[in-house]
Structure 1
Amino acid sequence: PSILPSVPFRLDRDFAPIIKVSVSYNVLVVTPSLPVKSMSDLVGLLKQQPDKLTFSSGGFGTPAHLAGELFKLETGVRATHVPYQQFPQAIGDLLNGTNQFMFITMLPVIDLIKAGKLRALAVTAPERVPVLDDVPTVVEEGFPHLVIEDWVGFAVKAGAPDASIERLNEAVNQALKHPKVQDALAKLGAKPAGGTPAEYGAFVNDQVAYWGKVVKEAGLKLQP
């Protein structure tokens, strides 16, 4: 709603929370030709060359875009956002050096990182992620305010019976304990979350407020 106020619904108002299902994290990757080996190197280069480098995403207002904007706010660097309609094109232009860096969910780039076609500088997690356990976290790199979650949760239309919400919550919590579910999430670079409807509702409210502040401070506005 902060980027597109005309959206006719609000996640924190028009839905009843059920459960936070999973949590995953982004990875900050750069084109291999960029002469940086760490986040500090990247920040230093961006400060030496303000507005010269570009970062890509799968679209305006996407998590990858907002992560890039938060990175700019937290470090004071200046770089130009280049939005794409599809991730494959964004990744392709990162590989060929058209754009220089990107925050992206891990699954599409794990093999590219392991093959040396992209260089991973950090994951936006508080601790190392098993699928990229040789990549440092933003905390290790000295940027703890850049811990950013990608999350998935379930909700229903506001006004749903409490008993139904509790049954759904219990069923999903039980499913998240199953080893096959946990293994499937791990292969995606994610981990199970779980919890109560109230906890998920409070989390959603916090996320809406937090990212609304980021959008405002970054001056983001979707052109009609």
Structure 2
Amino acid sequence: MIAAEIAARAPADGYTLLMATSTHTMTPNFYKLSYDMVRDFAPVTQMVPASFVLAVHPSLPVRSVKELVALAKQRPGALNYGSGGNGSPGNLIGEMFRLQAGINIVHVPYKALAQAVTELVSGQLQLMFVVSTAAVPQLQAGRIRGLAVASLKRSAVMPEIPTMDELGLPRFEASRWYGILAPAGTTPAVIAKLHNEIAKTLKFPDVAQRLTNLGLDPVGSSPQEFGEFVRAELAKWAHLVQTAGIRVE
């Protein structure tokens, strides 16, 4: 939030930019901010989204989302999902899953995401939405089982794992995305220059391959597309937080 405050007040000359993430579209629901993500910034481009994987501990007797939902309905309130804290991306996505699937699962917030992943690997947690960059090593080692990805298309690094949308949860989409915003008032010429250079860099074969290996899918969207995406994300999370009654302490 501090970085966003600084960037929002910086000169609109293209030399101060904000590396925005999905969290920036969630925090307005929990904190009184001195900036507005739409009013105070000019979109440049979405760089990469990192998919979230619905993962379970291998000891849980399910191998599909359908089986997980059935088990949760048989044992309401018995299954726990972890996150990096109340109001964190993992919490919001977990609640989106709970509401859309019509199940009763219990949120267990941790002070740090790494701690929650450790608890999932050890079997203290039954399930969790794990960002792909953290999930891939654990999946490859067989320490967790991936049931679905929370994106509308399969991940290039985990193509064998289906999407939530494929499995009957329509339009279920959430990612930890990264994008570039400039201070509001930055000229269209400067925005275009920044976008072109960033998009070109993302297409370099070595850069694209490195990002893919990390579980990231290069995008390089246009400023208009990114602006529309940010507004949609703000609306989506605001609706979810209100519907689920999510609070931070």
Could you state the TM-score of these two structures normalised by the residue count of structure 1? 0.92
Given the alignment of the two structures, is residue 176 of structure 1 paired with residue 191 of structure 2, yes or no?
no
Q: Which consecutive segments of 4 or more residues in structure 1 shift more than 3 A?
A: none
| Paired letter, 2:35 | F
Q: Deviations over 1:125-177 (max 9, x none)?
A: 22322322222222332223323233111001212233222211111121122
Backbone CA RMSD of aligned residues: 1.6
Instruction: Tell me the CA shift for residue 2 of structure 1.
Output: 4.5
For the pair 1:167 / 2:193, whether they are aligned, the reply is: yes
Preserved contact between residue 127 and residue 137 of structure 1 (Cα < 8 Å) = yes
Q: For the residues of structure 1 that align with 2:224 and 2:28, how far apart are their CA atoms?
A: 23
Cα drift, residue 80 of structure 1: 1.4
Deviation at 1:115, TM superposition (A): 2.1
Alignment correspondent of 2:54: 28
CA contact (8 A) 1:21 1:153 kept: yes
Counterpart of 2:227 (choices 194, 201, 213) is 201
Aligned counterpart, 2:236: 210
**Shift in Å, 1:101:** 0.4
The alpha carbon displacement at 1:109 in A equals: 2.2
Pairwise CA distance, 1:182? 0.8
**Alpha-carbon distance between aligned partners in 2 of 1:2 and 1:44, rounded to the nearest angstrom:** 34
1:66 to 67, 71, 92: 92
1: CA distance, partners of 2:28 / 2:48: 24
Alignment partner, residue 4 of structure 1: 30
Aligned counterparts of 1:79 and 1:97: Cα–Cα separation in 2: 16
In structure 2, how many angstroms separate the alpha carbons of the residues matched to 1:193 and 1:165?
17
Shifted more, 25-34 versus 60-69: the winner is 60-69
Deviation at 1:184, TM superposition (A): 1.6
Give the letter aligned to residue 80 of structure 1.
V
Amino acid at match of 1:14: D
Q: State whether structure 2 residue 156 is matched by structure 1 residue 130.
A: yes
1:181 shift after superposition = 1.6
Equivalent pair of 1:28/1:101 in contact (CA under 8 Å): yes
CA displacement 1:15-59 (0-9 Å, x = unmatched): 111111112211111111111111011111111121221100122
- Tell me which amino acid in the other structure corresponds to 2:75: Q
Tell me the equivalent position of 1:108.
134
Encode CA deviations 1:47-75: one digit per residue, 9 max, x unaligned: 11212211001222222221111001101
- Partner of 2:18 in structure 1? none
- Partners of 1:195 and 1:95 in 2: how far apart? 35
Please state if 1:219 is matched with 2:232.
no
CA distance in 2, matches of 1:117, 1:196: 38
Q: Which blocks of at least 5 consecutive residues in structure 1 are unaligned?
A: none
Read off the aligned partner of 2:63 and give its amino acid letter. K
Aligned mates of 1:222, 1:58 — CA distance in 2: 12
Q: How far apart in 1 are the matches of 2:196 and 2:156?
A: 28
Q: TM-score, normalised by structure 2?
A: 0.84
Q: In 1, are the aligned partners of 2:155 and 2:217 still within 8 Å (CA)? A: no
Q: Which amino acid aligns with 2:199?
A: N
Letter in 1 for 2:155: V
